[in-house]
Amino acid sequence: MEPVLWLLFSAGGVVSALFLPVLVFLFALAVPLGWIEEPGRDRLLGLLGHPLTALVLLGICVLSLLHWAQRFRYTLFDGLRLKAHERPINVGVYALALLGSAAAAVVLWQAVAARSG
C-alpha cells in the first residue's frame, strides 16, 4: 500500500507545485480584487465547465488531496509525535481525501452540466 500512496503523493506534489500557485493567484487574488479585468461568468464557465478542463481540474484536485493526506499524516506523526495513533490518523486523512475527491467530481460535473445546459 505504502508505495502506491507514495507515488500518488509524489504525483500530487508535482501537479500541485505546477498548477496551484497560478490558479490561486488568479482566482483567489487577481480576480476577486480586480487586478485583472474580470472575465465574467459565461466565459469562466465556458472555460472551467469544458469537459476537458474539468477532467484536468479533477486530476489536480484528487492528486493534490492525496498529496495533502500523506504529508499531513506524517506531520502529525513526527511534528506532533502522534505516531501512537497511526491507524485512526491514516483512516481519517484518507477518508477526508476521498470525500473531497468525490465532492470535486460532483461539483465539476455540475459545472459541465451547467455549461451545456
Q: Which of 51, 55, 78, 102 binds another protein (CB under 8 A)?
A: 78
Is there binding between residue 28 and another protein (CB under 8 A)?
yes
Report the C-alpha gap between 31 and 39 in whole angstroms: 8
**CB distance 63 to 11 below 8 Å:** yes
Q: Which of 52, 79, 87, 116 binds another protein (CB under 8 A)?
A: 79
Number of amino acids touching another protein (CB under 8 A) = 64
Total count of residues recorded for the chain: 117
Buried residues in 88-117 as b, exposed as e (16+ CB within 10 A): ebbeebbeebeebbeebeeebeebbeebee
Smallest gap from residue 60 Cβ to another protein (A)? 8
Is there binding between residue 87 and another protein (CB under 8 A)?
no
Smallest gap from residue 58 Cβ to another protein (A)? 10
Buried residues in 51-73 as b, exposed as e (16+ CB within 10 A): eebbeebbebbbbbbbbbbbebb
Residues that bind another protein (CB under 8 A): 2-4, 6-7, 10, 12-14, 16-29, 31-33, 36-39, 41, 43-45, 47-49, 57, 60-61, 64-65, 67-68, 70-72, 74-75, 77-81, 83, 100, 103-104, 107-108, 110-111, 113-114
